[in-house]
Amino acid sequence: MLLLPGIRYAAWGILALGILLLATAFIIDFRRVSRALTGRRGMFGVSTTVMASIFIGIILFVNAISIGNYHRFDVTGVAQFTLTSKTKDILINLETPVEAVCFFVPNDPNGTASYATSLLNEYENYTDNLSIRTVDPDEHPDQARQYGMDTLYALYQAYGITDYQTVVFESQEYRRMVSSPEILAQAEHAFTSAILEVTGTVLRKVYFLTGHGEADISSNYSYARESLRDNLYQVGTLDLLATPQMPDNCA
């Protein structure tokens, strides 16, 4: 039966009691019970009971199928809540517990907090090792200071950033902040990269050469850049005239 564990045994007990009472009625006064069931009212009651049972059975059957085949549909125009296959694989194979602490203020003019929350909820569907906690830094300034939010907010003010929503990913050993500009620009890449960083995974970086008249990666190679980011590569530029040595993190 598709019931909560706390009421499952009570439901079985009520069902057994009903069957027992019906059997007792048949034994004590079989003729009267038989006439009640085969009469006009009885036939109508039996038909109603059968139809109701079929209807309830269909609902339970559909419910059983939905529980075994859970799926969320992303109906946004740009599929902003649909995770890439790379992110799904990382979450499915995530073995280290990671906590995402969301420092969200009530004033959310850009919808950053709601967007980040919906995306993180989608992350939770693929792993049991990611937990999410939301903290209002105005109501809990001690926790905000513990995570260095006061320093980050000072940087926000210095750069004229008015959207203070921030997500901090942490494991037992590492911590990584994801700021509101990162959330709005490339939330999935930032979140998944943060999870990899706090679990000790070194991200490889792809460099596009500059300084020799090469095309701009922001316009000419924008599709290639986004494809690399979707596969969780960091993307940057490199001028070999200014930096003749190849960086160690180059993929």
Contact 87, 188 (CB under 8 A): yes
* pLDDT value of residue 238: 79
Six-digit token pair at 48? 């109603």
* pLDDT value of residue 2: 46
Six-digit token pair at 6? 């706390």
Task: Check: pTM over 0.75? Answer yes or no.
Answer: no
R_g over Cα of the chain:
29
Under CATH, what is the fold of the domain 85-198? Glutaredoxin (3.40.30)
Within the chain, which residue ranges are assigned CATH 3.40.30.10? 85-198
The stretches in the chain having pLDDT less than 70 are: 1-12, 15, 18, 22, 25-26, 28-57, 59-81, 202-204, 217-223, 225-234, 249, 251
Phi, psi of 106 (to 5 degrees): -60, -35
**Distance spanning both ends of the chain, measured CA to CA:** 53
Strand partners of residue 235? 206
pLDDT of 75-112, one tens digit each?
444 445 578 888 999 999 999 999 999 999 988 888 99
